[in-house]
Amino acid sequence: MTQKCAIVTGAARGIGLATTDLFLEQGWQVAMVDRDESELSTAAGQRENVLAIHRDVSNPQDVGAMVRETKGWAGRIDALINNAGVAEFGPYEDCTFDMWRRVMATNLDGVFLCTQEAADELKATKGAVVNIASISGLRASTLRVAYGTSKAAVIQLTKQHAAELGEFGIRCNAVCPGPVRTKLAMAVHSQEIIDAYHDAIPLNRYGSEREIAEVICFLASDRASYVTGQVVAADGGFESTGVGLP
Ligand code: NAD
């Protein structure tokens, strides 16, 4: 059987790296894309069946090269996992336009650019797109005006792409992780936020990278062949309940 190929953006660490590992365990090959050259080369150097692509998903030229390099290496693209993301938290009045643009450039522009650029290759394989949004895109809360808005837009973009690419057999779904102790989250989660999540999440804990990767790889696989346009929260029950809230 032909070996399938996934592009995973933001693959050097965190949820993207766990997703890379799960794809590899399931027999896929993975194009690992990241703008952090040193972490990417370390992570890729420790794995087989991967191609390290040092690119920035917010740069149109880089994204074009990402697709060409993946096609040249694997000959096909079966799944695009739009996982690269950045978070900058702070009071709404302190959100500068530069901060807003930085968050939108990676979290929203990156998803738009990568999906548009990979679409022709995904048409050829009737492939899948999985966008990593966030519970912060499902409901508003303080400190994340740019991050939350970018993730809400990714959810809408997922539905737009599902509507427009469905006729080509391409499925597009979004995963909304709850909190996971990655570098991204630990840089912006104060002790107050950590305590509040523990109380408000029915499972009373943060998730693991692997628990998010399981959902991503399922949605990318043929096992989800009739699932598109969906938004799946992997969040210990946070979004669907009001546990812990007065
Ligand atoms: P992380 O910081 O551990 O990993 C993100 C990776 O993306 C890094 O390796 C980084 O270098 C890369 N990256 C960032 N901007 C990039 C760009 N423009 N081009 C290429 N690579 C880029 O973070 P993570 O927690 O694993 O985050 C993965 C995704 O999950 C993000 O989209 C994030 O918003 C989302 N998410 C995370 C959490 C959480 O609690 N950790 C919760 C909800 C959603």
Does the beta carbon of 213 sit less than 6 angstroms from any atom of ligand 1? Answer: no
Measured distance CA(143)–CA(187) in Å, rounded: 13
Task: Say yes or no: ipTM exceeds 0.90.
Answer: yes
Which protein residue has the closest C-alpha to ligand 1 atom 31? 85
Dump pLDDT digits (tens) for 16-34.
999 999 999 999 999 999 9
What is the 155 CA–ligand 1 centroid distance (Å)? Answer: 16
Dump pLDDT digits (tens) for 160-187.
999 999 999 999 999 999 999 999 999 9
Q: How confident is the model at residue 243 (pLDDT cuts 50, 70, 90)?
A: confident
Question: Which candidate in 147, 197, 206, 226 is catalytic?
Answer: 147
Does the beta carbon of 34 sit less than 6 angstroms from any atom of ligand 1? Answer: yes
- Among this protein's residues, is 206 annotated catalytic? no
25: burial class by Cβ within 10 Å (0-12, 13-18, 19+)?
Answer: exposed
